Structure 1
Amino acid sequence: MGQLDGKVALVTGASRGIGTAIAERFASAGAAVAVSARTVDATDARLPGTIGDTVARIEAAGGTASAHRADLAHAMDRQDLIESVLDRHGTIDILVNNAAVTYFTPITEFSARRFALMFEVQVTAPTHLAQLVIPTMRTRGHGWILNISSIAACHPRQPYQPRAMRGGTVYGMCKAALERFTSGLAAELQNADIAVNSLAPNRVVPTPGTVFHQLTTENDPESEPPSVMADAALELCYRPATEMTGRIAYSADLLRELGHPAAIP
């Protein structure tokens, strides 16, 4: 018996990286996983991976998955996504808000269009998707909402390191807003048995995106494997809300706290 047997999970931004790792881990724990992203066909060699690839790997391993294209910058796509998953699987027990659009640009050079897009995808979309799935979760009598955050949500400390000075301010603002949304929604849903948590890696995870933005390299010995985030995400998406909700968690720290065998020393 897997921890997620009989559950349906929707994971956004699941064409590559952390989203794919979480989707595959949830499927291995017994969930039927709906994966969503803009990428249906591979068009950029710098950012390989599609939701079709993710579904194929899950099914090859004996799991159940479905692919749902959606551009989360658009409210209608978000509405259509939830309806599509409900039509296919009948319910949504778990929502993982992982999708992101990121630009690393100094504030003095940041365009209004990019600013609005980042907040739409990383703050407005998770809020809207939560609004859309909560009624189903209330009907089921349980639910789990997990928002994928980043250590960038923390305030830079002096003396400032090069990474803090390279233009990640808006990214950090988005993740800080997402974490405040997490804690607030957890409080609002405390009596509905719907757990709401956020999860960030302790270290940079080597993904096509972070490698593209030169935040790490594929073989960086100081990086965190995507599997650590996936294992931590699972721990936050099956325990009852009475046990674990409102957490602003960090992956390796959480696994160590829980005595998980995959915890990084």
Structure 2
Amino acid sequence: MGQLEGRVALVTGASRGIGAAIAAAMAGEGAAVVVTARSTDEAPRKLPGTLDETAAAITARGGAVLAVAADLTDATDRERIVATAVERFGRVDILVNNAATTFFVPGAELPQRRARLMFDVQVMAPLHLSQLVLPGMKERGAGWILNISSLEAGAPAVPPSRFDALGTTTVYGMCKAALERMTGGLAAEGFGHGVSVTGLRPGGIVPTPGLVFHGVMEPDDPAAEDPQLMARAAVRLCSAPAAVYSGHVYESTALAGMPGDVVESRT
């Protein structure tokens, strides 16, 4: 039996990149997986990878999967995602808030509508989805919420990294910092109810289709982190009892190198 046998996982931003890798890994460990994103085979898109392709790959490996196309900036759509998951599988045991969006524009020049979009997708949507699934998790005495963060959530490097030097990660970093603070807060609220709320950052830069498409990095960059490392770390965080990991943000590379349940937090 897999580590997640019998559980139901909901993964946002699962059409490509880290989200697709996490969804596949969780299905491979026995979870029934609900994947959601805007990119379907029918929807116009710029980047490779769609929700339908993610679902097809999981099905081909014998996994149970349900694809729900949705716009995470729409509260009604967020409610529909959770309601559809519960209708199909009976509950949501694991929520992975992975969806993200960014624009490679300096923060001082970023239009307000785009800044709001980034906060809607990366802060407000994770908060609302968490609010929707937490009551059921608390009632059952078990649940896992995993928020996918970034190294950009921390203070900018001195001298600046290649991204900070361009000024293009200002608002993205703000969103991820807020997501990490939300992680600690919700973990405290879930304390004593068997609910684990954790954050996970890549230890390096993952060559997601978005970064490659915009020419920020090459897919074969020797310094790149394999998204499968994030996927394995996600399974680990979402399979252990809440008391083991809850309330902290971890780096994938550090987590992978630590034996058993001995983990040092980044926070």
> What is the CA–CA distance in structure 2 between the aligned matches of 1:48 and 1:34, rounded to whole Å?
20
Q: 2:77 is aligned with what amino acid?
A: D
> What is the CA–CA distance in structure 2 between the aligned matches of 1:215 and 1:257, rounded to whole Å?
31
Match for residue 230 of structure 1? 231
Match for residue 205 of structure 2? 204
> What is the CA–CA distance in structure 1 between the aligned matches of 2:22 and 2:213, rounded to whole Å?
21
Note the C-alpha offset of 1:229: 0.3
Percent identity between the two aligned chains:
52
> What is the CA–CA distance in structure 2 between the aligned matches of 1:40 and 1:161, rounded to whole Å?
34
RMSD: 1.4
1:99 has 2:82 as partner = no
1:187-216 CA-partner distances (Å, limit 9, x unpaired)? 111111100000010111112112123332
Note the C-alpha offset of 1:116: 0.6
Map 1:151-190 onto structure 2 (within 5 A). Answer: 151-166=151-166, 167-190=168-191
> What is the CA–CA distance in structure 1 between the aligned matches of 2:223 and 2:161, rounded to whole Å?
16
Contact 1:11 1:98 in 2 (8 A): yes
Contact 2:39 2:45 in 1 (8 A): no
> What is the CA–CA distance in structure 1 between the aligned matches of 2:198 and 2:41, rounded to whole Å?
32
Contact 1:42 1:48 in 2 (8 A): no
SS at match of 2:185: helix
SS at match of 1:243: helix
How many residue pairs align between the two structures? 260
Match for residue 55 of structure 2? 55
Match for residue 28 of structure 1? 28
> What is the CA–CA distance in structure 1 between the aligned matches of 2:154 and 2:242, rounded to whole Å?
25
Contact 1:204 1:215 in 2 (8 A): no
Normalised TM-score (structure 1): 0.95
> What is the CA–CA distance in structure 2 between the aligned matches of 1:174 and 1:53, rounded to whole Å?
28
Map 1:205-220 onto structure 2 (within 5 A). Answer: 205-220=206-221
SS at match of 1:257: coil
SS at match of 2:245: coil
Q: Quick check: 26-35 or 211-220, which moved more?
A: 211-220
SS at match of 2:68: strand
Match for residue 263 of structure 1? none
Note the C-alpha offset of 1:132: 0.1
1:106-128 CA-partner distances (Å, limit 9, x unpaired)? 12211010011100110000000
Contact 1:146 1:198 in 2 (8 A): yes
1:208-255 CA-partner distances (Å, limit 9, x unpaired)? 112123332111111011100000000000101111111210001111
Normalised TM-score (structure 2): 0.94
Q: 2:211 is aligned with what amino acid?
A: T
Contact 1:42 1:49 in 2 (8 A): no
